[in-house]
Structure 1
Amino acid sequence: MIAITNLSYYLGDRALYDGASLHIKPKQKIGLIGLNGTGKSTLLRMIDGEYQPDEGSISKSGDCTIGFLNQDLLSYQSDESILSVAMQAFERQNELQAQIDKVLHEMETNYRDELVDKLARAQDEFEALDGYSIQAKAEAILEGLGFSTEDLSQPLRQFSGGWRMRVMLAKLLLQKPALLMLDEPTNHLDLPSIQWVEKYVQNYEGAVIVVSHDREFLDNVVDTIVEVSGGKLNLYSGNYSYYEEEKELRNEIQRGAYENQQAKIRQTERFIERFKAKATKARQVQSRVKALDRMDVVDEVIDENAKVHFRFQFTTQPGRHVFQLEDASKAYGEKLILDHTNISMERGDKIALIGANGRGKSTVLRIVAGTEKHKGVRRLGHNVSFTFYAQHQLESLNVAHNLIEELKYANPNKTETELRTVLGCFLFTNDDVFKKIKVLSGGEKSRVALAKVLLSQANFLLLDEPTNHLDMQSVNILIQALQQYEGSYIVVSHDRYFVENIATKIWYIEDHQIKEYPGTYEEYELWLEERGLESAVSDKAIVSSAPPPKSTAAPAPSNGQKKEPSPKPENQRALKQAQKQVEELEATITDLESQKKKLETQLADPASYSEKDTLDELNEKYANTRQKIADATKAWEVAMLEAEELEG
């Protein structure tokens, strides 16, 4: 459907892509992943035709239509109703409806045969294009994305950017392009809407490319992962969990190949250094020099799973009770958010506040922070100090500061070395720390703002959608930081993987009350199922984000169980048998090692990853061979011990 061949694209003298290739097939569901700044959105814009590659080509079949949901659509404004905007997807049907209305109007005063014929033709085509059901289709998709029936007649202009993005998504879904490209669609969706889009994409008849940091979403909707790394497009046949497993396997193979090659290089260099002055060895030395020049260098494996090596501390310990709301009520006009609700949290509580948009989650955070007026009593506990993170906090960053200066402002007591350590945790290294805030991307600003929050020495954090605009590596860093954080926090998030890993209690808003489930998110989902209720998040149990276990054959039975020492033999027969067994096992291990190297060569070949069945078979053979080597090695050790005892 789309063939990307030897694609290269440069930003100044930096190559975002360098000879990258990819073939997109009909009905393929692709998750496009990679660190921020590697060019994921740029690739989508090149496929869409907005950007042109510097080298290579992107060819498309003649019937390939493309729908592209990108962040630029946030700024789209219109005085038309959101239903009308969504129905712009039906371009031809709308033209026919306008013709029909015009002809009917003319026929009221001038009934002519040619008008009747024109009306009949227009109505026939309109019916053939299913024009009479387009409004129902648009309403169903908009309501699936979280709009109420009353919202549909409201002008688009009065909705926030996130809600306008949903209207644009609805319009694209109604157009049903052959290739649907979604750039971070979950950033602006609540949990029920994410689950609805998951089901829609799963059943979508065309091909889909999704850029997303939401692991659960990728696990549930894609059948292929394409990783942007090193200017290449690396293909993995499977969902995100499968990618993680296969990525580790590839890294293991590459790491072994790299270490072996480095050892060979060191050995060759020692030979050259030792014999370069000897005339009798000149030919061998030159041969090895040329061999080094011709060698295809294996790259070292870069660990992309950054670890947080910084202890986030606060100086003031709070009392037992961190926060309480008593008889709290809040409404916006006739829209009731809270109605005489009571809730409290204690020191050490790690709370995720979840639910659909419009329920009042961000309002609750502002009430907790004391910035939202309400009825009732808000009470902070003894020695509680809090800090509040939300997307609008990015605007409070001082654009004239560099990163060190901005963090120094948050915590003047930290040394530059300590601040550099924190920035390193959030992927800012070397001279990055001297960048001005004004030149940072949205994701980079989010990381700086989060670093400031964790440096604030507050013992109570309020975090509103902290994972928006973060790539997966940054989300992982934030998870580690919050897991190490010894204070209390309330987090609003629609990222299920994130919530699963950082929350020990769940708050949700039901019947205008804040209610608490005293367990993890997964336990909360199971509890809802047992109650026979539909989750505030989804109507099915959470899909585990842990990678599936590797496919391995059952271990071969080992004859290497350690035996009791044998008495000294009266003759040499038993010794010879033991020595023969040792030799046979050594030959078996050598043969298995040879098989293992061949399999590693096949697994290192990118062509092996194009077919999932072939890859699964290779992985199974590789795992089985490694198990056989382990069993044979254990048997060899036992046989050697027996032979030594027999030699006695």
Structure 2
Amino acid sequence: MILLQANQIARLFGADVLFKNIQLEIADHSRIGLVGRNGAGKSTLLKIIAGLEAPDEGQIAKNKTATMGYLAQDTGLASDATVWDEMLEAFAEVRQMESRLRMLEQHIADAQDHTSDAYTRLLKEYDQLQHDFTEKNGYGYETEIRSVLHGFQFDESFYEQAINTLSGGQKTRLALARMLLQKPDILILDEPTNHLDIETLAWLENYLQNYNGALLIVSHDRYFLDKVVSEIYELSRHRMRHYKGNYSRYLDLKAEQLQSEWKAYEKQQQEINKLEDFVARNLVRASTTKRAQSRRKQLEKMERMDRPQGDEKSAHFLFDIDKPSGNVVCQLENGAIGYDEEVLAAPIDLDIRRQDAIALVGPNGIGKSTLLKSLIGALPLLQGEVHLGTNVSIGYYDQGQADLNSRKTILSELWDEHPTTPEVTIRNVLGGFLFSGEDVDKPIALLSGGEKARVALAKLAMNKENFLILDEPTNHLDIDNKEVLENALIDYQGTLLFVSHDRYFINRIASKVIELSEDGSKLYLGDYDYYLEKKREEAEIAAMLADSDNSQPSAPSTGKQTFQQSKEQQKILRSLQRKVAEVEDNLATIEETLHNLEKAMAEPDVLEDHVRLTDLNSQLEAAQSQQESLLEQWETFSLELEEYQG
């Protein structure tokens, strides 16, 4: 069933067109992702669809019985009520039904004449109301509230807190929680993943996958879109295109479509050239004039294809370094972070080596940004001392762009820090970040979040430091510019430590993951997928051990295990032993590779060939780095094996 249709929608600003001829259809159970560049008009279109703004052209046709919920990005819940009372408001109708049921029960109990028509009407109303009450989860709505609040990281200690005393991020999460509890037939969400940590994002994905209504979502989180949506509408160059499938499928279909359009366009261009050539050669010849005129009419009637347009202009930049650091970049042993003697996380151990790319993950409020600021000296550690290696120079990206001067223009923001650099060089750098011509004279104060992010990244690129510490660098960037940033960081020859909630970004960039918790830091030697796999294994082992402990008799142990307990423990033991053996095999292989490379580099003809020697040395350094990573894995697995056997 069709719930809503947008027909020929346009938004105009005088002669300027934001978008035009927009067609969009929402059916029940639709899972729609709306994508496009920052400034393309996605949020404006959502407001028009939600009925908050009127279109300049076209119309919105909505099913009269369908309910709609719209949540703008970064919308905080404004209320003087407590968290629990505000969530109850989502079930106002159900609670009214509940009150009516209690009243009817009292009337039925007080009735004297059970044969009267009035009594029969009471029973009939009660039966119908009880059926409706059950259909609307009347007996489970409080459990549902607790489940959703728990998913958004609100435990029972928050239930009686007044909403107006909470932080902005908490109010935003509560606004989304209440919207989910209301369960509208059409749920429209503009950037719902803002302010959510990775654990909450995973919960929200699972919740939305099972949502009964239709979804229309704007998001720059590619991982989220792949998990939740099943069709994509792309808003680009003032028009809309529709693709079936999730975000990854959309990218494939878009590439295929562009290739097909180019083939058709080139084929038509060849035909046009052929006809024009025939007309030019034969129009003046008496014997062929009629045929030439016929070809000319054919040309005039031909509906000419527009030249296919590829992706819109993206930023293009690199992060260079002035000089490399030593192998040891940053170390911290037994560190603690927090405020006013209140410890957020401890003990924290870091051993960051040259060309590491480390993602720092953990729940909101655990102190990830605090740790980054402590490493650069902006905040004191409660315990421990940071040791930087030789020639280490730090570049820091602040997620709030606090280091940008709102009174300066874009050009002066960079030029004032590099006064000896020619203006043309500064402009070229800014051009790589999509600031050109008069754009560079815009005041920082008037820039959007995405524009400020690009200015901050431009400053970072100008400084050429060898250790980049980045706090949420993908915030405010659209998907295309995220990919440009990813490619620049992949090619970066320095060292990276970054905080991000963008799981796709982490997976592309990180070679290691450090998880921060109240119990301190824990290192995982792989990308985000490897981290998830290890977390699942840890959860399974913990569950097995818990089951084993729970199955022990309350009487004093005789030292004998049940067959099932022994079987589970042997399974865990074999898994750990297999991993240790696998790493040892890989170490043996890499050691042989190192031996062969060192032997080759010692050959007289190689020593005289600078190019070949440089190439072999690069291979040697890569192999040594791989060996170091394998040794760390071996130590981790061996320690787990020893602890389990012990």
What is the SS of the residue equivalent to 2:194?
helix
In the alignment, which residue of structure 2 is the partner of 1:3? 5
For residues 531 and 264 of structure 1, the distance between their equivalents in structure 2, rounded to whole angstroms, comes to 64
In 1, distance between residues paired with 2:304 and 2:36? 23
Q: Aligned equivalents of 1:276 and 1:471: distance in 2?
A: 54
- Partner of 2:343, secondary structure, is strand
Instruction: Please identify, of 260-269 and 437-446, the stretch whose mean Cα deviation from structure 2 is larger.
Output: 260-269
Judged with a 3 Å threshold, the aligned counterparts in structure 2 of structure 1 residues 364 and 34 are, in CA distance, closer, same or farther, namely same
Paired position in structure 2 for 1:351: 358
SS at match of 1:358: coil
Q: Distance in 1 between matches of 2:440 and 2:268?
A: 35
Deviation at 1:412, TM superposition (A): 3.9
Q: Amino acid of the residue matched to residue 443 of structure 1?
A: G
Aligned counterparts of 2:486 and 2:286: Cα–Cα separation in 1: 62
Corresponding residue for 1:258?
A: 265
Task: Quote the residue 1:156 is aligned against.
Answer: 163
Residue 470 of structure 1 and its aligned partner are, at CA, apart by 1.2
SS at match of 2:470: strand
Does the aligned pair in 2 maintain the 1:306–1:473 contact within 8 Å? no
Counterpart check, 1:138 vs 2:139: no
What runs of 5+ residues in structure 1 fail to find an aligned partner?
536-648
Matching of residues 525-604 of structure 1 within 5 Å: 525-533=532-540
2:88 is paired with a residue of what secondary structure?
helix
Q: Does 1:506 align with 2:513?
A: yes
- Measured after TM superposition, the shift of residue 204 of structure 1 is 0.6
* Counterpart in the other structure of 2:598: none
Instruction: Give deviations 1:25-69, integer Å, cap 9, x for gaps.
Output: 110101111111111111110111111111111100111111112
1:182-331 equivalence runs, <5 A: 182-271=189-278, 288=295, 290-304=297-311, 310-331=317-338
- Mapped to 2, the partners of 1:184 and 1:194 lie a distance apart of 12
Tell me the distance in 2 between the aligned counterparts of 1:72 and 1:349: 34
1:13: which partner in 2?
Answer: 15
The alpha-carbon distance between structure 1 residues 187 and 291, as it changes in their structure 2 partners (threshold 3 A), is: farther
Task: Quote the offset at 1:96 in angstroms.
Answer: 6.1
| In 2, Cα distance between equivalents of 1:156 and 1:534 | 39
| TM-superposition CA deviations, 1:63-106 (whole Å, max 9, x none) | 111111212523x43332222222221232455678999x99xx
- SS of residue matched to 2:141: helix
Superposed CA RMSD in Å reads 3.4
More displaced stretch, 426-435 vs 196-205: 426-435
2:86 alignment partner in structure 1: 85
Q: Residues of 2 paired with 1:233 and 1:371: CA distance?
A: 46
1:46 is matched with: 48
Question: What is the rounded CA distance, in whole Å, between the counterparts of 1:415 and 1:263 in structure 2?
Answer: 47
Query: What is the CA–CA distance in structure 2 between the aligned matches of 1:387 and 1:201, rounded to whole Å?
Result: 38
For the residue of structure 1 that corresponds to 2:309, the secondary structure is coil
Please, which moves more after superposition, 421-430 or 42-51? Answer: 421-430
Identity %: 39
Please give the alpha-carbon distance, in whole angstroms, between the structure 2 residues aligned to 1:436 and 1:289: 55
- The answer on whether the counterparts of 1:410 and 1:456 sit within 8 Å (CA) in structure 2 is no
Within the candidate set 383, 395, 400, 2:391 is matched to 383
CA spacing shift, 1:156–1:296, aligned 2, 3 Å: farther
1:527 Cα shift? Answer: 2.8
How far does residue 518 in structure 1 lie from its aligned partner after superposition? 2.1
Deviations 1:604-630 (A, max 9, x none): xxxxxxxxxxxxxxxxxxxxxxxxxxx
Match of 1:34 among 11, 33, 36: 36
**Correspondence 1:463-482 to 2 at 5 A:** 463-482=470-489
Change (3 A) 1:159 1:314: same
Q: Which residue of 1 aligns with 2:68?
A: 66
**Equivalent residue for 2:607?**
none
CA distance in 2, matches of 1:431, 1:287: 50
Number of residue equivalences: 525
User: Is 11-20 or 232-241 further displaced after alignment?
Assistant: 11-20
Alpha-carbon separation, structure 2, partners of 1:83 and 1:171: 10
Map 1:517-532; keep pairs closer than 5 Å.
517-532=524-539
Tell me the SS of whatever aligns to 2:146: helix
Q: Deviation string for 1:210-259 (max 9, x for gaps)?
A: 11111111111111111112333211111111111111111110011122
Counterpart Cα distance in 2 of 1:293 and 1:251? 26
CA distance in 1, matches of 2:272, 2:431: 32
- Of the structure 1 ranges 152-161 and 491-500, higher mean CA displacement relative to structure 2 is found in 152-161
Structure 1 residues 473-506: Cα deviation after superposition (integer angstroms, max 9, x where no partner)? 0100110111122111211111111001111111
Other structure's SS at 1:392 match:
coil
**CA apart distance, 1:362:** 1.5
Residue matched to 1:56: 58
Q: Determine if contact 2:363/2:517 at 8 Å carries over to the other structure.
A: no
**For the residues of structure 1 that align with 2:232 and 2:524, how far apart are their CA atoms?**
35
CA 413–6 in structure 1, closer or farther in 2 if over 3 Å, else same: same
- Matched with 1:613 is none
Of residues 338-347 and 51-60 in structure 1, the stretch that sits farther from structure 2 once superposed is 338-347
C-alpha separation in 1, matches of 2:293 and 2:238: 34
For 2:41, the aligned partner's letter is G
Aligned match of 2:500 in 488, 493, 502? 493
In structure 2, runs of 5+ residues without a counterpart are 113-118, 543-646
Relative distance call for 1:11 and 1:288 in structure 2 (3 A) is: farther
User: How many Å apart are 1:268 and its aligned residue?
Assistant: 4.0
Aligned with residue 397 of structure 1, among 382, 396, 404: 404
| 2:152 counterpart letter in structure 1 | L
Q: Distance in 2 between matches of 1:179 and 1:387?
A: 44
1:480 partner SS: helix
The AA in structure 2 aligned to 1:425 is G
Decide whether the 8 Å contact of 1:310 with 1:421 is kept in 2: no
Q: Which amino acid aligns with 1:472?
A: I
Say whether residues 1:427 and 2:427 are aligned partners.
no
C-alpha distance in structure 2 between counterparts of 1:72 and 1:14, whole Å: 28
What's the counterpart of residue 545 of structure 2? Answer: none
Alignment of 1:407-418 (within 5 A): 407-418=414-425
